[in-house]
Chain A
């Protein structure tokens, strides 16, 4: 459990006392907030975010780097948090899906596009797609259709068949949509 003190900071929980791998003090920023924590050497960044900081929007689908559900922005680029050790995030800037739109803010254009195009069903893969595409957006400018497709190929979705995810992504990046699926 983490909790928010009156000063609004995230307070992470510590490793269990029985943890045999070495411990480290790390400091980083998470969604703009400074965080200091103790982590064991082997702690995956996914588990740090989810279980020590209670930022559970970052999901775990494989822990092998394949599915992209765990995508976060590390110093502004999209990476797999399951293939990163928490301790490697020391001193870095981390952004997760929770940081896209603040609790009282409207959805970002990217999120809104997923909503409008029904680019999600169970929503389990969605944070990964959002962060991966947020990473692409960080490059600035409009990606080519091929670049967008290449990014999308790095994330798995088992529910949607991707068609609406592509529509959402194209809408978000201002690319022309595919031929609208026709309804009789």
Chain B
């Protein structure tokens, strides 16, 4: 279990990195390596060139922008985000999600952006980015663009990134004032990828849900909003539409059996976690 041969370059700047990615070789970015390295070790991937962005201190930030958004640079680790006091205060859903990733030893190297670029269907962060309506700043030698999280995750291990693009920063806007949130997941052992997980954000106005964002992950496909359930919630109080939400989940989810769980368990968990999460988010609404 040793990687196939490749060349390695430690990028000196963002421009250098994207130049290398555009260079015509089959190049792969390495950030924390916590997903890429197992793939290389098992020879499931064999890039010709590995571009290390780990030394780009310009991307190593977790800070609040002038508009009050949380900016997480490409080399900021999950541990850095978790340790940041503003994150706990302003983006508790994100903090909870990150705390559910792997083990501390993994989060010490794994990056937020690396997880978003990797898009494991059972990973916490793509779901979190969607529910928090994050924007992803992406750069290549051709262009700089931004992609809303909702358009980023196109399928399991597939994203809107093209091979020459670097995800340079994720921007999490401040959650709407008074929004309630919940993040729940079920895993066989602590630190494992989620069997099923859910992230919810609700805004309450006049005793009913004014805005609902509900994202499930680990249920087949990549993390995605369940629009029909969100619609059922909107304009009503959650307890009144519980049956409808359940029905929508039954209709929309189509998980498969795998080595960790039967489709049946996934369906059951999705329903239970979602109902519990909605109740929790609702209770947290100001």
- Closest beta carbon of chain B to A59's beta carbon, Å: 14
- Cβ–Cβ contact A84 & B33, under 8 A: yes
**Neighbouring B residues of A40 by C-beta, 8 Å:** 5
Chain A: CB-nearest residue to B5: A21
The answer, among B33, B190, B191, for a CB contact under 8 Å with A85, is B33
Chief secondary structure at chain A's binding surface = mixed
In the complex, A63 has a CB within 8 A of chain B: yes
Asked whether B259 is an interface residue with its Cβ less than 8 Å from the other chain, the reply is no
- Pick 27 A–B contacts, CB within 8 A, sort by A: A22-B6, A22-B7, A41-B7, A41-B50, A42-B4, A44-B41, A63-B41, A64-B1, A65-B38, A68-B103, A77-B79, A78-B105, A80-B34, A82-B41, A83-B37, A83-B109, A84-B109, A85-B33, A88-B30, A90-B10, A135-B105, A150-B104, A151-B104, A153-B189, A153-B190, A154-B103, A154-B191
Identify whether the interface residues of B are mostly helix, strand, loop, or mixed.
loop
Instruction: Give CA–CA (A82, B36) in the complex, Å.
Output: 12
From A75, which residue of chain B is reached at the shortest CB distance?
B108
Q: Is the CB of A22 within 8 A of B108?
A: no
Any A CB within 8 A of the CB of B106: yes
Per-position 1/0 for A98-140, Cβ under 8 A of B: 0000000000000000000000000000000000100110000
CB contact under 8 A between A153 and B109, given known A44-B2, A64-B42: no
Known contacts A63-B41, A83-B109; decide if A24 and B8 are in contact (CB<8 Å).
yes
Q: Is A20 on the interface with B (CB-CB < 8 A)?
A: yes
Q: Which of chain B's residues have a CB closer than 8 A to the CB of A58?
A: none
The answer to whether B104 touches A78, judged by C-beta atoms less than 8 angstroms apart, is yes
> Is B3 engaged at the interface, CB distance under 8 Å to the other chain?
yes
State A87–B102 Cα separation when bound (angstroms). Answer: 25
Residues of B within 8 A of A (CB): 1-8, 10, 30, 33-34, 37-38, 40-42, 50, 52, 54, 79, 102-106, 108-109, 189-191
The yes or no answer to A96 lying at the interface (CB within 8 A) is: no
CA of A136 to CA of B103, assembled, Å: 12
Which of chain B's residues has its CB closest to A136's CB? B104
How far in angstroms is the closest Cβ of chain A from B7? 4
Q: A77 to B42, alpha carbons, bound, how many Å?
A: 25
A70 to chain B, nearest CB (A): 10
Using a CB–CB cutoff of 8 Å, the interface residues on chain A facing chain B are 19-22, 24, 40-42, 44, 47, 63-65, 68, 71, 74, 77-80, 82-85, 87-88, 90, 132, 135-136, 150-151, 153-154
B259 → chain A closest CB, angstroms: 15
Q: Is the CB of B7 within 8 A of A21?
A: yes
- Given the known interface contacts A21-B6, A153-B190, A154-B103, the answer about A135 and B33 at a Cβ–Cβ threshold of 8 Å is no
Q: Which 9 residue pairs of A and B lie closest in terms of their CB atoms, listed nearest first? A: A154-B103, A41-B8, A21-B5, A83-B37, A22-B7, A42-B3, A77-B108, A63-B1, A20-B5
**Of all chain A residues, which has the CB nearest B4?**
A42
List chain A residues, Cβ under 8 A from B4.
Answer: 42
Asked whether, in the complex, the Cβ of A88 is within 8 Å of the Cβ of B5, the reply is no
Q: Which residues of A contact B10 (CB under 8 A)?
A: 87, 90
Extra 5 A-B pairs, beta carbons < 8 Å, given A41-B5, A42-B4, A84-B109: A19-B5, A40-B5, A74-B109, A78-B108, A154-B191
**Given that A153-B103, A154-B106 are known contacts, is A85 also in contact with B5, CB under 8 Å in the complex?**
no
Q: Which of B1, B40, B103, B108 contacts A150 (CB 8 A)?
A: B103
B-side contacts of A24, CB under 8 Å: 8
